[in-house]
Chains A and B, each alone.
Chain A
């Protein structure tokens, strides 16, 4: 494993940095060599991508703060318009320079931004250092104005200052590239953590009351259960914190000492499996889980989110929904056969129905006009239904409940078309 070394930075800082970013040494050293020394111009834009929680944001942040490089860190989801984004960058810039001018910044266009950016840099003692602008969740940039992304990519050129833009994203660069062509950033990939890495990282922050070995053993068990379904570091850390109290229980009670791994394993394993079925899927919330652990009760008492699938609907709404389902999944030409009293060839119909149903279910729901829905409704409800306003308002309320969805323009008054969005299971429970 290569030790971090760079002539520009003090050795103990680097050592500290290395301890903070386990399993990412190679990437960090790569970044450092790109950055070069403080005053050197660096690559204009760097694009870093990797899967969820592969440490992109964390590495960048620790790198920049421990080495005390001037930087601006912005999340693009949070600043959802270009104006907010640019203003946020400028505000942070003012703050990091330390000049206490709290005048509100106004920056509507990129042109303004470049001007103000130059001003901000000129007023500070930053000219001799590279400024880093980190844009987290950069995939949002694509949805802003078309000029934002290319401009950020060549900000160095536009402002003629020593600045490097770092884009962090979960998707590859190829999906970013605009049609018109732009400056190609230096791309860098952060690979997923392997199980060994996860083990190492998770065991690093063990609680002070227990020894590191003890915690490492616990993490080992935890990973054994959860690694199959979840490789998200954040999620794993969350689960580890939630279930650790239970793991320690025998030790606290004095039934087992810290070395007694087998016994502890036996104690925790069913518990973890239960957790996988409930907490991990967010069937029950973590606070409920904690309460459960304290009570020592069975999780059977607590119903998960998906246990409440039953939906109560008014009488005619049920029929409307069923009619909508039939209209969505049956082709128009079979209507006459299914819903008319006198039709011939029953045996053939049955066969056809089965055949068509499978294929139609694979195709998904088809839109149907309102009149057809009502016609089917009249034929499946036993007694007469008056086409009152109540029925029509029920259709719209079904749309707001997202059980039906409207197809086409919303303000089209003549012949609105709908689609049924519920599944066969749902219809089955309703039809009962």
Chain B
């Protein structure tokens, strides 16, 4: 689906915009190259990226692409797992550098370079000589050819080495590499980039002072992943551009995984993509989940079955019940009428989304600055709350309105201005009136200011009057009056206006922020199967294994296996029986007892009236089955042979202690 591609592109754009920022600084540094020479320091950028390691790959790929486009063709990405020793590191580095060289001038001596690569000596001097030859070559090339490369790159482009995961490198490798490269810094303009996941202190911990003094480190901090998430949510969910929407519970699940578990934006995106897939796969009416322009065409191509599907939707049934009886019949029997109605409803839904987003933003402007954030600091929390249920019925909403009624004037005015901007920028047609109303509020506030200044004049004059009077009683009386009038008059006007504003906002919220599942046909665009998603994303290997062994019916769907309660059925696979028996044991399990129990369970149903001789001696087949089941359990990691007692096995799972 093209939506997914859009999505990825957006993410990349996001990243690149961030990178270009860090990158501009970076360029600055390379210009200062010459002055750094005498100090023998290697310019180094320390990129602090946060703990979401899974996202880093993408970031680094983006970074190296940008570098290759703008600064230098020589970029090498190194990962700790490839470089256990300095030798491997050099090999990897050389390989990458030479390869990207081949890409640049693939025309001429491709084969000669490749031949020499096989028997090249992986050391710094050979790297230096290679670099010299390469730069010389670009110099000696004909200008027409050179234009292409030198317009993008410099005369002597720096060699950029990126260490993806600084933490995992062994100290010795890094130290050696830095010492070596500092020896050759005159011949080889090298720039290092460290990707750091935790904190920059790691540099000091990994490198002793004698080595870190060879570096000229500058720190670049990337956006925190939480901010990253909110921008993505902002761009993906809170727009009317993508017809697909997430239901409140689903979004909550995704956000919880993000916050509680991995901080990985990429996983969030993947979860989102999974939601899209699941939605289009499971919901037959999801064909209608498309852009507004296509709706008409698609609605008219609906088949009879699909119309029936629409009629079966709970939200649509609710809608039908509200209509008068004639229309009800029409809706339930006439397909073409139903199609028209559906189209209208979908358009309504679309308009609702547009309005929803802008009003949500307005409300966020108000609530995000309140003390203690009753409705959450981030817009995503507000979004979740609004999707979940009618937001104006919640306690938090009440308290936030209370707080909003106590805002001071300056804040209120700026908020109103922000709201006006948001509403102006949104495409909804219904907002003209709202904007006007808000503007009216603003002018009223300005008027208030003017009035206030007038009033101040009045009070000044009354004070003058006051000075004339010397009578104590009069003085007291006028003072009291003055106080009262000041308080009641000046504040009431402002307060009244404030109440009015808050009420107006409240009305807007009630009108536009209706939760989506109250809308008709919301099933088409909203994905609400949170439990399914949770099952997909929160893998629980232990639980799954336990249910498989404890209750084989769950996976095998065999009626015979359906057992009730704690009894051990003998029809279950051997391994299940063994597992259940082992659950009853302590840390050390006696194999003989186990076998006895196993054989009794197996024999129980088979031949209850078997003769005593055969039940005394355990059957060979049963013995073999038992041994196989036990070794399967060992393979799964539930037990292991113990050295304390020879005929016992140790239990490794819970409950052993």
Contacts and interface: CB of A to CB of B under 8 A. Distances in A.
B247 interface: no
A88 interface: yes
B262 A314 contact: yes
B486 interface: no
Contact of B123 (A79, A104, A285, A303): A79
Nearest to A403: B198
B488 interface: no
A287 interface: yes
Which of A79, A104, A232, A389 is packed against the most chain B CB atoms within 10 Å?
A: A389
Contacts, number: 145
A264 B640 CA distance: 77
Nearest to A389: B539
Nearest to B541: A389
A310 interface: yes
Contacts of B259: 314-315
A386 to B, nearest CB: 6
Interface string A185-224: 0000000000000000000000000000000000000000
B167 interface: yes
Contact of B542 (A241, A313, A387): A387
Contact of B216 (A81, A287, A392): A287
Contacts of A310: 199
B225 A312 contact: yes
B53 A401 contact: yes
Contacts of A287: 29, 32, 36, 43, 216, 218
Interface in A393-417: 393-394, 397, 400-403, 413-415
A313 B200 contact: no
Interface in B359-405: none
Interface string B66-106: 00000000000000000000110000000000000000000
Given A282-B212, A400-B165, A305 B204 contact: yes
B202 A88 contact: no
Interface string A227-246: 00000101100100100000
B296 to A, nearest CB: 44
Given A285-B216, A308-B221, A316 B168 contact: no
A330 interface: no
Interface in A311-349: 311-317
Nearest to B39: A238
Nearest to A422: B198
A305 B123 contact: no
Contact of A311 (B51, B168, B221, B637): B51
A286 B41 contact: yes
Interface stretch (B175-183, B342-350, B581-589, B599-607): B175-183
Contacts of A397: 51, 53, 262
Given A314-B261, A315-B260, A306 B123 contact: no
Contacts of B262: 314, 390, 393-394, 397
Contacts of B225: 312
B540 interface: yes
Nearest to A318: B260
Contacts of A415: 652
Contacts of B216: 285-287
A80 interface: yes
Q: How large is the interface on A (under 10, 10 to 19, 20 to 34, 35 or more residues)?
A: 35 or more
Contacts of A317: 51, 261
A75 interface: yes
A385 to B, nearest CB: 9
Contact of B38 (A241, A285, A389): A241
A405 to B, nearest CB: 11
A367 to B, nearest CB: 17
B629 interface: no
Contacts of B218: 285, 287-288
Given A282-B212, A314-B263, A387 B53 contact: no
Nearest to B175: A77
Contacts of A288: 218
A26 B261 CA distance: 66
A312 B652 contact: no
A402 B198 CA distance: 9
B124 interface: yes
A358 interface: no
A402 B202 contact: yes
Interface in B5-60: 29, 32, 36, 38-39, 41, 43-44, 46, 48, 50-51, 53
A388 B539 contact: yes
Contacts of B637: 413-414
A305 B46 contact: yes
A288 B25 CA distance: 11
B543 interface: yes
B112 to A, nearest CB: 15
A108 interface: no
A126 interface: no
24 contacts: A75-B183, A77-B176, A81-B87, A84-B121, A234-B213, A238-B39, A241-B39, A282-B213, A285-B216, A285-B218, A286-B41, A287-B36, A287-B43, A287-B218, A308-B199, A313-B263, A315-B259, A316-B261, A386-B538, A387-B542, A389-B540, A390-B262, A390-B539, A414-B652
**Which A-B residue pairs are the 6 nearest by beta carbons?**
A389-B539, A315-B260, A305-B200, A390-B261, A285-B216, A388-B540
Given A390-B261, A397-B53, 5 more contacts: A286-B216, A288-B218, A386-B543, A397-B262, A402-B167
